[in-house]
Every structure is written in C-alpha cells, then in structure tokens.
Amino acid sequence: MEITTQPEDLIHQIDSWKEEVNEVREEVQLMRERLEQIALSVAPEEVMKSVEHFENRLLRQREVADEMFHDIKQFAKSQSDHPQTVIHDDRPVCDYETLQRRMEIFQKLFIELKEDFNHFMMNEV
C-alpha cells in the first residue's frame, strides 16, 4: 500500500515535529528546575539517588531532543533543496520513514519519562 505525501503536507509535518521537540525541551527544563529544588533541600538519601537518576535521564532526553531537532532541520533543508512528492510503502523511501519512526520512539520514550517523573514527584517528595 502506498501513501503519497505532498510537499505542503511534508512541510506541515516537519513544522509539527519541530514544535513538538521544542515543547519537550521546555518540559525537560521545567522538570530539571523541579529536581534542582529537591537537590537543594534536605532530603533522604534514597530521594537524592532518585533525583540523580532523573537528572541523568533528563540530560539524555535533552541530548536526544537536540539530535532530533538537528536531524529534522537537515531533512527539511534537503527537501527544500529538492522539493518532491515522497512516496511511502513497505520499504524505506528517502529518510522520511526513518525520521518518522525515530519521532514516534522519541514521543513514546518522553511520555514514559514524564510518567515516571510525575510518579516520583507525587510519591517521593
């Protein structure tokens, strides 16, 4: 089964991905600020271990967000240099499907991180 994506739809998708990655960056920054408040407090050692664990996860999430944003920009640039209709089928066509799969994984992992973080904040602090 083939699905054809017109250049205008592709531009909209790219812009949507960029916006979502920026929103993740902002949320990660807010989570890091909340952790910093806990780190500056007098908290039990177990809580501090969890704070360090989440600091590491948030740092990595930010790195992945930066990589995704860069790759999305590079893909957008390649499309603007050579605008074309992208055809999707069962095999990868261009880098669109790869980028789309990476974005889906990025979204899934961030949702899991956010749920874990919120659980920690509600139960441990």
Compute CA 3 distance to the chain's CA centroid, rounded to the nearest angstrom.
25
Position 10 scores a pLDDT of: 81
Q: In this predicted structure, what is the pLDDT of residue 27?
A: 97
How far is the C-alpha of 24 from the C-alpha of 20, rounded, in Å? Answer: 6
Per-residue pLDDT, 48: 93
Give the pLDDT of the chain (125 residues) as one tens digit per residue.
344 555 677 888 999 999 999 999 999 999 999 999 998 988 899 999 999 999 999 999 999 999 999 988 888 887 776 655 544 443 333 568 888 999 999 999 999 999 999 999 998 76
Global confidence as pTM: 0.78
> For residues 10 and 79, is the Cβ–Cβ distance under 8 A?
yes
Q: What is the pLDDT of residue 81?
A: 61
φ and ψ at residue 14, rounded to 5 degrees: -60, -45
| Domains of the chain, CATH where assigned | 3-124 (1.20.1270)
